Amino acid sequence: MIRKKIELSLVKATLDDYQQSWNLQLDGAAFSTNSSILQPVRYEGIPAMLKIALVEEERRGSKLMVHWAGNGAVKVLRHSSAALLMERASGQGSLRDMVWNGADDEASKIICQVAAKLHTAKASASLKLIPLSEWFYALFFAANQLDGVFSQCAEIARFLLNDPIDEVVLHGDIHHGNILDAGDSGWLAIDPKALYGERGFDFANLFCNPEMTIAIQNGRLAQQVGVVSKAANLDSKRLLQWIVAWSGLSASWMLADAMPIDQKLKLIEIALSELNS
């Protein structure tokens, strides 16, 4: 309890510091995730979001947000080593809602359009990008420990990683919840992981979203592979391989966190079936 009080006190002091130094007006309650603190504010009359990174992964992502300079991502207004002040995406649209309302294909096409903009960014020495070979460590560990489907996923991941094509700066966590409606500015990305590797990787996670119950619906994966491979100019077989590899990695993380993985394993089964058909 004492530790929590100290942390809350530090959080308030940090928010107060940025509020004063950047002349921010509070515009809602602060909230937090496991990796950051967020505070809705107004900056020079503009609705904005102050994000304070608590872990190195978030700080890497913040540098990439600055690097993108609003091209496919929410525009950064101010930044420091630990904080971002971003324009707030305040449009009323939601890619999740689009899927639930029968516009799954259109949502996937929007994601592909945003990703295409993000992927034009050039790598820079100032960016601390994590290579995909390192990002997949948890899957390779799970394969060594558990074998089975994890070994199948790891074998495909190694094949892809050993012979990459079209390598770019990657967002690393593209899905329906990380692409927001920014009104007149269109759909824009938030919360990157800042990775580097084959372009196709960045599309795999959208097949696990917006909910696993949707992801494993009969025919859904095959339909969206067709939509995404065409919209993003990707080979459909290689895209399926990335879906298998990514889903195995995701299942590895979930298993380490003692989360149920039945639906994720079902998606892997569906993707392997499509791959082998």
Query: Which are the catalytic amino acids?
Result: 173
What Rg, from alpha-carbon coordinates, does the chain have? 19
Classify residue 103 as exposed, middle or buried by CB count within 10 Å of its CB (0-12, 13-18, 19+): middle
**Residue 212 DSSP label:** H
What is the spatial distance between Cα 86 and Cα 82, in angstroms, rounded to a whole number? Answer: 13
Classify residue 3 as exposed, middle or buried by CB count within 10 Å of its CB (0-12, 13-18, 19+): exposed
What is the spatial distance between Cα 264 and Cα 252, in angstroms, rounded to a whole number? Answer: 10
What is the spatial distance between Cα 218 and Cα 88, in angstroms, rounded to a whole number? Answer: 37
What is the spatial distance between Cα 14 and Cα 95, in angstroms, rounded to a whole number? Answer: 33
CB 43 within 8 A of CB 27: no
Residue type, 207: F
| Residue with token string 């420091």 | 80
- The enclosing H or E element of 32 equals strand 31-32
Three-class secondary structure of residue 1 per DSSP: coil
